Chain A
Amino acid sequence: MDDLLAEVRESITTVLDEQCSSLAVHSFIDGRDALDTRLLQLATELGWLAVALPEEQGGIGLGAAGLAILHFELGRAAAPGPFLATSVVLEVLARSGMAGEAAVAALIADVLGGAATLAVAAKVEPPRGDAPAWLLGEVNARAALVAGEGDDLVLIDLADAAPEPVTIWDETRAMVSLSLSQYKPLVTLPGARPMFEALFAIAIAADSAGAARGTLDRTISYMKEREQFGRPIGSFQALKHRAADHQVNAIGADQLVRQAVDHIDAGGPGAVLWSAMAKANATEAAAKIAGDCVQLHGGVGYTREYDPHLYLKRVRLNEMLLAPNAVLRDQAERAFGAALRAGHDVLEIA
């Protein structure tokens, strides 16, 4: 399993290093290159979207571990495209027990074949009153997963809906708004919400940990090149100590992602606890690191031409997805308390 994961990671990084360089991402955000479409095509051919999906549903069967690797690497490259929503929803559909439903099976086949992408409620709590829902995904997404009654989720059909694109600060992802009157339920996934929250959380956490790694690596390179007062700015202790702290915290975030992966794939009582905490802590660690990477770049960090802002906006969006971190920490605390009372050891590490 570890060998297969390493192999998958290597194949993803090879493609992203080649296709999704800083230059390519800048061409994309400047509207000169459809990098998102190209990456999606490659992802389809290489089976990335199915990395977590069980083998009998056309996937690679790597579960949450596969999802985490994919999104860590996409985050590291600040890769544009509807990967987060599409891969998470795909995996939820596969695990929901409804994958055999004709409409769902057809949808999965279309996504795996590259004919459709998916969207997901950016915040799991439904909007209040008549406010439209924000969906993370492309304007032409085929379907979206949103919260239903209680722990149910509802897959809504977007084929004939007209979601409004919204302009967001993160230029590497897309979001749309959709009024509730346009909701056309395709299928209900009973009781799927906890599983969805765990998978969405781990994907967000992994993307954030990867983005933290990506912006930190680039910032450290910059600190070695950029000279002031006749020496590289990376030689100044006031700056290098910050880089060291970020290095350690980025690794800590990575470990939390792995902690959550272990528990989600084991399906135990630690899944809610650790996925919620991975999302809460990793997104905040990443936001701190990415913010300071702008600062460590000095003047050029404030320019659109350089990379740090791409990562900063991406991880700040990540932090707001799914649910506020305060809510997740409360969920985690309840799960921790319940596990202890039930005599489950959720702190043991294999």
Chain B
Amino acid sequence: MMIIDLRNDVPAFRSAIRDWIAQTLPRDWALVADRGTEDENVAYQRWWFGELAKQGLSVPHWPSAYGGVDLDISGQMIVADEMARAGSPMLNVYIVTLNHLPGTLIPCGTDEQRARYLPPASRGAVWCQGFSEPGAGSDLASLRCRAVRDGDHYVINGQKIWSSMSRFAEHCILLVRTDPDSVKHAGISFLIMDMDTPGLEVRPIEQIDGQADFSELFLTDVRVPVANLVGAENDGWRVAQATLASERGVLAFEAGERRRHLMEDYYREASASKAAWLEDDELRRQFMTVLADMQASRRLIRDLLHDHENGEPHATTAMASARIKLFQTTLIQKLGDLVARIEGLEGHIRQPFHSQRRLVGMFDYINSFSWTISGGTNEIMRNLIAERGLGLPRG
């Protein structure tokens, strides 16, 4: 009997998850995961993913044919809520594996591709994404990484950037240009590339927060079988739209719930220790302003997920996603900014760790730019909201 088997009995499901986390997750896990190197952190995520898999909680939202149980959104919210409540390890290394991969292969892949890649992914194979290029960021369709057909292979030359966690990945979903003569969106193809293919070099990017989640990929005569084409040749842009539309609302929900507990704990500790900032009118009031925005943000995400469940058309929910991205990431930045101010000069003494379990001013603030820039910059979100949401004319 796995915990997932209790999913139809909501109170039992919830309390089983809660009890199981309390029994399974060492109390000091965050100290280990946060103080350790990135490699150690990823090792921790792999261990946690394995434990979740034993209870059917790693890919519950996937179709049953590939290891899931088609868990509906409210069921996913229960799992996410309990993970956030317990402050369990975040599965950053699996984001593409859990969301973008099934979001692409289920609608656009072949039976063979689904059978070959999804079951191992459900057991923890790490995937990464090779979409952006140095010259193709917000303007993704201008990508130039070139794939030339040579018998039953493509030979690929070019460069990719902002590939999250690719140092740890076994496979990559890759966008390449197969027809350089056609206009932008046409002429792009979608491939699956093994990360151990000769000619591929992965170079981590040193980030402003001290970590290196992102890497650059350098491809020199990398040979990828034509069988790894997802969708038709030159139809990769359409496939990429499916990837980017893959449902990530529950991820945003979990992030929002985690933030709620972090803010609550932060205030609780400040209050217990009679922290000086609580006597500072400006900081104390600003904290309340951000707390209220945080609450508004959580409500926005819930509305989005309920609309999904009620089958609102994708165009509506896509617009809500853009609004939430803008609102939530702006909030994350405001919170980081505030906590950095609260910590004052002491916040500038660089600690040898960051934390998933508590707010750390300067780290959170500097790291907040990854939220406002990645996943479509907030400027691109504003264009979407203004043009598709408000109907303002394109520039």
- The reply to whether the CB of B314 lies closer than 8 angstroms to some CB of chain A is no
Number of interface residues of B (CB under 8 A): 41
- The reply to whether the CB of B395 lies closer than 8 angstroms to some CB of chain A is yes
- The reply to whether the CB of B393 lies closer than 8 angstroms to some CB of chain A is yes
A277 touches B292 (CB 8 A): yes
Give the chain B neighbours of A247 by CB distance below 8 A: 323, 385-386, 389-390
A347 touches B260 (CB 8 A): yes
- The reply to whether the CB of A38 lies closer than 8 angstroms to some CB of chain B is no
Select B285's contact among A224, A248, A330, beta carbons within 8 Å.
A330
A243 touches B293 (CB 8 A): no
Give the chain B neighbours of A340 by CB distance below 8 A: 264, 267-268, 271
- The reply to whether the CB of B144 lies closer than 8 angstroms to some CB of chain A is no
State the Cβ distance, B247 to closest chain A Cβ, in Å: 20
Stretch at the interface among B33-41, B100-108, B164-172, B296-304: B296-304
Stretch at the interface among A28-36, A43-51, A94-102, A230-238: A230-238
Give the chain A neighbours of B389 by CB distance below 8 A: 244, 247
User: Which of B267, B281, B285, B394 gathers most chain A CB within 10 Å?
Assistant: B285
Known: A224-B391, A277-B291. Is A244-B382 also a contact (CB below 8 A)? Answer: yes
B271 touches A337 (CB 8 A): yes
- The reply to whether the CB of A342 lies closer than 8 angstroms to some CB of chain B is no
B295 touches A256 (CB 8 A): yes
- Bound together, the chains give a CA A347 to CA B387 distance in angstroms of 34
State the Cβ distance, A226 to closest chain B Cβ, in Å: 11
A349 touches B298 (CB 8 A): yes
- The reply to whether the CB of A333 lies closer than 8 angstroms to some CB of chain B is yes
Known: A248-B323, A340-B271. Is A281-B292 also a contact (CB below 8 A)? Answer: yes
Give the chain A neighbours of B291 by CB distance below 8 A: 277, 336
State the Cβ distance, A325 to closest chain B Cβ, in Å: 8
A248 touches B390 (CB 8 A): no
- Bound together, the chains give a CA A245 to CA B330 distance in angstroms of 10
Select B382's contact among A220, A241, A330, A341, beta carbons within 8 Å.
A241
State the Cβ distance, A347 to closest chain B Cβ, in Å: 6
Give the chain B neighbours of A235 by CB distance below 8 A: 392-395
Chain B residue with the shortest CB-CB distance to A277 = B292
Give the chain B neighbours of A203 by CB distance below 8 A: none
- Bound together, the chains give a CA A247 to CA B388 distance in angstroms of 13
State the Cβ distance, A222 to closest chain B Cβ, in Å: 11
Task: Give the contact-size bracket for chain A.
Answer: 35 or more
- Bound together, the chains give a CA A234 to CA B295 distance in angstroms of 31
Interface residues of B in 189-208 (CB under 8 A from A): none
Give the chain A neighbours of B303 by CB distance below 8 A: 255
- Bound together, the chains give a CA A274 to CA B323 distance in angstroms of 23
Give the chain A neighbours of B390 by CB distance below 8 A: 220, 240, 243-244, 247
- The reply to whether the CB of A332 lies closer than 8 angstroms to some CB of chain B is yes
- Bound together, the chains give a CA A131 to CA B382 distance in angstroms of 48
- Bound together, the chains give a CA A278 to CA B296 distance in angstroms of 10
Chain B residue with the shortest CB-CB distance to A223 = B392
Select B392's contact among A220, A326, A336, A341, beta carbons within 8 Å.
A220
A244 touches B393 (CB 8 A): no
- Bound together, the chains give a CA A258 to CA B327 distance in angstroms of 17
- The reply to whether the CB of B174 lies closer than 8 angstroms to some CB of chain A is no
Chain B residue with the shortest CB-CB distance to A254 = B296
- Bound together, the chains give a CA A248 to CA B326 distance in angstroms of 8
- The reply to whether the CB of A310 lies closer than 8 angstroms to some CB of chain B is no
Give the chain A neighbours of B285 by CB distance below 8 A: 326, 329-330, 333
Interface residues of B in 371-391 (CB under 8 A from A): 379, 381-383, 385-387, 389-391
Chain A residue with the shortest CB-CB distance to B285 = A329
- The reply to whether the CB of A208 lies closer than 8 angstroms to some CB of chain B is no
State the Cβ distance, B201 to closest chain A Cβ, in Å: 37
- Bound together, the chains give a CA A247 to CA B330 distance in angstroms of 14
Chain A residue with the shortest CB-CB distance to B298 = A349
Select A277's contact among B288, B326, B382, B394, beta carbons within 8 Å.
B288
Chain B residue with the shortest CB-CB distance to A258 = B299
Known: A220-B390, A245-B326. Is A329-B288 also a contact (CB below 8 A)? Answer: yes
- The reply to whether the CB of A251 lies closer than 8 angstroms to some CB of chain B is yes
Give the chain B neighbours of A258 by CB distance below 8 A: 299
- The reply to whether the CB of A252 lies closer than 8 angstroms to some CB of chain B is yes
Give the chain A neighbours of B295 by CB distance below 8 A: 255-256, 259, 274, 277, 347, 349
**Which 10 A-B pairs have CB atoms at the shortest separation, nearest pair first?**
A240-B386, A244-B382, A234-B392, A244-B385, A255-B296, A277-B292, A235-B393, A329-B285, A241-B382, A252-B296
Cβ contacts A to B, 22 pairs, < 8 Å: A220-B390, A234-B392, A244-B382, A244-B385, A244-B386, A247-B385, A251-B323, A252-B300, A252-B327, A259-B292, A259-B295, A259-B296, A274-B292, A277-B288, A280-B289, A281-B292, A333-B285, A333-B288, A336-B291, A337-B267, A340-B264, A347-B264
A interface list, Cβ under 8 A from B: 220, 223-224, 231-232, 234-237, 240-241, 243-245, 247-249, 251-253, 255-256, 258-259, 274, 277-278, 280-281, 326, 329-330, 332-333, 336-337, 340-341, 347, 349
B interface list, Cβ under 8 A from A: 260, 264, 267-268, 271, 278, 281, 284-285, 287-289, 291-293, 295-300, 302-303, 323, 326-327, 330, 379, 381-383, 385-387, 389-395
Q: A244-B381, A244-B382 provided; 13 other pairs, C-beta below 8 A?
A: A234-B386, A237-B383, A240-B383, A240-B386, A241-B386, A243-B386, A252-B297, A255-B296, A259-B292, A259-B299, A326-B281, A329-B284, A329-B285
